Every structure is written in structure tokens, then in C-alpha cells.
């Protein structure tokens, strides 16, 4: 893997990948086989479930896209970053903050997500 910023940019791109086969290939490439993803509304414990969860989120928020909302902040085997979900060139509808734990080979081992800004209506 390359830098933490490159990895997280690829992670965000995976959340925007509409093709299920390409999305699954991206998950397989940047996540370890036993990686987990946990946020307030989803929990996965392996690559197939992670790819399926991303697809379900895309269906729920059709027409919206994920983007980084600031710098990627790595240290040791940890990376934190803020992301947004919204229409292109418009204010975000959802804002989140994730902390990723990296494996020794630089892939995602665990991602812990937090939702900071969620619509109330």
C-alpha cells in the first residue's frame, strides 16, 4: 500500500463505486480478509459483508456521494478522517468521522465510524 492518504482516498472511492464487481474487487484489495467495519447502523466482519453494506448504503442514498472533508491524520497503525455524504457541489447531508486500524501490510483491518451530522427530518 502507499500512503495513508492514498488508502483513505481509495476507501472513499470504494463507497462511491456503483459496479458491484468493481466494488468487491476494491474491498478485497484494500481490506484484510478478516477486517471489520462498525458504525452506529452497520457492523461487518469480513470482506463480502463490507462490500454488501456499501452497496446497501448506496441504494439508501442514491444520487449522493462520499468525499473527504479535511486532511487524513495518520500515526502508527491508526488513521482518522472526516467524510461527508451529499450531492456533488452542494452542502453535505451527513458528516462522519472514522478511525481506521491498519494491518502490517498497510490495508484496512478495522474501521470505526461515527456519525457527527445526520438530518433530523
Residue-wise pLDDT for 64-90, tens only, equals 999 999 999 999 999 999 999 999 888
- Report the C-alpha dihedral over residues 14, 104, 6, 61, rounded to 10 degrees: 20
Could you tell me the three cell numbers for 27? 474491498
| Nearest-10 Cα torsion for 20, 26, 31, 33 | 60
The contacts of residue 111 (CB under 8 Å, 6+ apart) are: 11, 35, 36, 37, 38, 98, 99, 100, 101
Average pLDDT over residues 93-104: 96
d(CA 96, CA 115): 4
Instruction: With 0.85 as the threshold, say if the pTM is over it.
Output: yes
- Residue pair 72/12 in contact (Cβ under 8 Å)? The answer is no
pLDDT for 2: 56
Please tell me the distance from the alpha carbon of residue 88 to that of residue 43, in angstroms, as a whole number: 27
pLDDT digits (tens, 9 = 90+) for 21-63: 999 999 999 999 999 999 999 999 999 999 999 999 999 999 9
Amino acid at each position: 500500500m502507499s500512503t495513508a492518504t492514498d488508502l483513505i482516498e481509495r476507501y472513499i472511492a470504494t463507497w462511491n463505486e456503483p459496479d458491484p464487481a468493481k466494488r468487491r474487487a476494491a474491498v478485497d484489495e484494500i481490506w484484510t480478509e478478516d477486517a471489520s467495519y462498525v458504525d452506529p447502523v452497520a457492523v461487518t466482519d469480513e470482506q463480502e459483508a463490507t462490500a454488501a453494506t456499501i452497496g446497501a448504503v448506496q441504494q439508501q442514498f442514491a444520487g449522493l456521494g462520499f468525499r473527504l472533508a479535511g486532511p487524513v491524520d495518520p500515526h502508527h497503525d491508526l488513521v482518522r478522517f472526516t467524510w461527508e455524504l451529499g450531492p456533488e457541489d452542494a452542502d453535505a447531508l451527513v458528516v462522519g468521522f472514522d478511525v481506521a486500524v491498519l494491518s502490517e501490510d498497510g490495508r484496512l483491518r478495522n474501521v470505526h465510524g461515527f456519525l457527527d451530522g445526520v438530518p433530523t427530518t
